[in-house]
């Protein structure tokens, strides 16, 4: 069940999966009918916070309808567990801090421009994992409603582990204010393999000393006072 939860001076949408043992229970949040008939572009943005727990699989779907919600045929977003959580895990009931939010997630809805009877539904499928929070759900008649700032870049990508002395894995920041940053390298099952906390970060570049990690996909995540940023990186031998 979708609830409205007070968090400080703000109210957010909240779904309690931590205490819900009804596996497969689906909670729906559907938009009113959206008239994109005169639009040539459209998009959706939202903020999300979630942390996965153990091997439990929670799933968030965003579905689209062009017949006022009679049927939802198209899936425009489908993520679960580690991907949905952006690598964040917690064994206790999840209550996010300000820096734990994924801000300004954007879904391109250009396929529905010109349609007059669009509805968009958020569907959370419970796996008894952890709580999910949603906020600032907005629709725009443009494809790029938010100016994306390059808050963090990670390079080289792919990263060749055997050449890290000559070409190390580097993280460059462009933050709006100076402060400490937690830099983590996380594998695809959510384990934090590297964690560093440089201080007074604004626009510096930091080198990550990588141990002998297996080849594969990893998430480099940075948590600052202004938000959480992440990039996927491929490590090759």
What is the pLDDT, as a whole number, of residue 160? 86
Q: pLDDT tens digits, residue range 87-131?
A: 999 999 999 988 899 988 889 899 999 999 999 999 999 999 999
Ramachandran angles phi, psi of 112, nearest 5°: -110, 0
- Residue-level pLDDT at 211: 80
Residue 7 contacts residue 135 (beta carbons within 8 Å): no
pLDDT digits (tens, 9 = 90+) for 146-165: 333 457 888 888 888 888 88
Percent of the chain with pLDDT over 90: 46
The confidence score (pLDDT) of residue 161 equals 86
pLDDT the model gives residue 176: 81
What pLDDT, on a 0 to 100 scale, did the predictor assign at position 144?
54
| 182 membership: H or E segment, kind and range | strand 182-186
What pLDDT score was predicted for residue 150?
55
pLDDT at 136: 84
Report the helix count and the strand count for the chain, using DSSP H and E: 1, 17
Preceding omega of 158 cis (within 30 degrees of 0): yes
Q: Please name every residue paired with 222 in a beta bridge, in sequence order, or none if there are none.
A: 183, 229
Given this model, what pLDDT does residue 148 score? 38
Report pTM. Answer: 0.64
Using 70 as the pLDDT threshold, list the residues of the chain that sit under it.
Answer: 9, 142-150, 189
What sections of 56-126 are H helices per DSSP?
81-85
Closest CA to 82 of 127, 148, 25: 127
Question: Residue 3 is encoded by which pair of tokens?
Answer: 């609830």
Domains and CATH numbers, the chain: 3-140 (2.60.120.200), 152-236 (2.60.40.3080)
């Amino acid at each position: 069940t979708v609830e409205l939860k007070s968090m400080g001076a703000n109210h957010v949408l909240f779904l309690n999966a931590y205490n819900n043992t009804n596996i497969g229970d689906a909670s729906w949040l559907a938009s009113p009918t959206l008239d994109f008939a005169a639009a040539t572009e459209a998009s959706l943005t939202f903020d999300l916070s979630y942390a996965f727990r153990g091997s439990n699989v929670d799933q968030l779907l965003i579905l689209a309808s062009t017949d006022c919600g009679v049927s939802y045929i198209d899936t425009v977003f489908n993520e679960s567990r580690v991907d949905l959580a952006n690598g964040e895990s917690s064994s206790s009931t999840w209550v996010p801090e300000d820096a734990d939010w994924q801000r300004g997630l954007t879904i391109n809805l250009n396929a529905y421009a010109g349609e007059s009877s669009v509805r968009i539904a958020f569907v959370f499928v419970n796996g008894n994992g952890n709580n999910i929070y949603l906020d600032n759900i907005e629709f725009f008649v443009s494809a790029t409603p938010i100016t994306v700032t390059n808050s963090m870049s990670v390079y080289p990508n792919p990263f060749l582990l055997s050449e890290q002395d000559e070409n190390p894995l580097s993280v460059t920041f462009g933050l709006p204010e100076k402060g400490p940053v937690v830099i983590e390298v996380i594998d695809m099952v959510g384990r934090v393999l590297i964690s560093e906390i440089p201080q007074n970060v604004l626009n510096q570049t930091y080198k990550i000393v990588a141990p002998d990690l297996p080849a594969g996909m990893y998430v480099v995540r940075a948590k600052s006072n202004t938000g959480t940023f992440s990039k996927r990186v491929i490590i090759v031998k």
